[in-house]
Amino acid sequence: MSCPKVSLASALFLIASIVAFSTPALAQVAHSDQVQVTPPLLRTIEPPAPDATSAELEKRGDELRSEKLYLDALDYFHAALIKEPNSARLLNKVGITELMMQRYREARKSFEHCIKADRTFPDAYNNLGVVYYEEHKFAAAIKHYHKAIAIDATSASFFSNLGAALFAKKEFQPAVVAYQHALELDPDVFERSSRGGVQAQLPSPEDRARYDYTVAKLYAKMGFSDRSLEYLRKAMEDGYKEMNNVYKDAEFATLRKDKRFVELMATKPGSLSNE
């Protein structure tokens, strides 16, 4: 009669031991499946000094923004605005900082305030256009880029941004005209935009490939062979379907004589042929 009791006790002890040893492992698995929220942006710099001048506060704000300490930069720009109310220059910098934080609604209000403070300040119109562009409101973006260009037609960035918005709307021919004007003003404009400015929002690989080919054609037309070849390579990698046009388009006439062009075309799967 005692044997079953011993067996039962042993079994209960064994079960308890298994549960005890297994609990930490189970807890660890459960924790590994949990989502951890990223901590919010924190202010890490000493607050603006009350006796600092507007110029000093603005300079420090610029430094902090370049270091990507956006909340701290905003503190300094706002402190500078207290000493220099309704400064279009400062309001524009506040808007840019908010834009870099992807706070589009706040950025839009800052740029609108900037325009009210100075309706001849072209950067505010351009930057407001960027906000609309990022929100995929391309028609509104184009409208504001045109306003910026009407005030200052010497900025390559304005024309490049206009080209990006037109390209996003699939208005390719006007986009090419805008891009060409941008390159004529500054051949390096695309290099800067690829590092942190506005690029064409191209949802499909096909559109991306067409964009690359278009830029390659523009660079070839202007005689920038290295950059043209770079974008041709991108177009090939993105699977541009009309790549054989490279042998027909007049813009590539000089580039076709370049040994590097021949070598690049030979790397295309299926091998492109001169049709």
Q: For residue range 98-141, what is the model confidence (pLDDT) as tens digits?
A: 999 999 999 999 999 999 999 999 999 999 999 999 999 999 99
Quote the pLDDT of residue 33.
57
> What average pLDDT does this structure show over 222-234?
94
Give the pLDDT score at 267: 86
pTM for this model (two decimals) = 0.76
Dihedral angle at the C-alpha atoms of 96, 102, 105, 107, nearest 10 degrees?
Answer: 0
Q: What is the DSSP string of the chain?
A: -HHHHHHHHHHHHHHHHHHHHHHHHHHHHHHHTS--PPPPP---SPPPPTT--HHHHHHHHHHHHHTT-HHHHHHHHHHHHHHSTT-HHHHHHHHHHHHHTT-HHHHHHHHHHHHHH-TT-HHHHHHHHHHHHHTT-HHHHHHHHHHHHHH-TT-HHHHHHHHHHHHHTT-HHHHHHHHHHHHHH-TTHHHHHHHHS------SHHHHHHHHHHHHHHHHHTT-HHHHHHHHHHHHHTT-TTGGGGGT-GGGTTGGGSHHHHHHHHTSTT-----
Which range (2-6, 86-90, 167-171, 236-240) has the least confidence? 2-6
User: How many other CB atoms sit within 10 Å of the CB of residue 172?
Assistant: 15
Residue 40 pLDDT exceeds 80: no
What pLDDT does residue 21 have?
46
* Percentage with pLDDT > 70 across the chain: 77
pLDDT value for 206: 86
Instruction: Select the more confidently predicted residue: 193 or 219.
Output: 219
Average per-residue pLDDT for the chain: 84
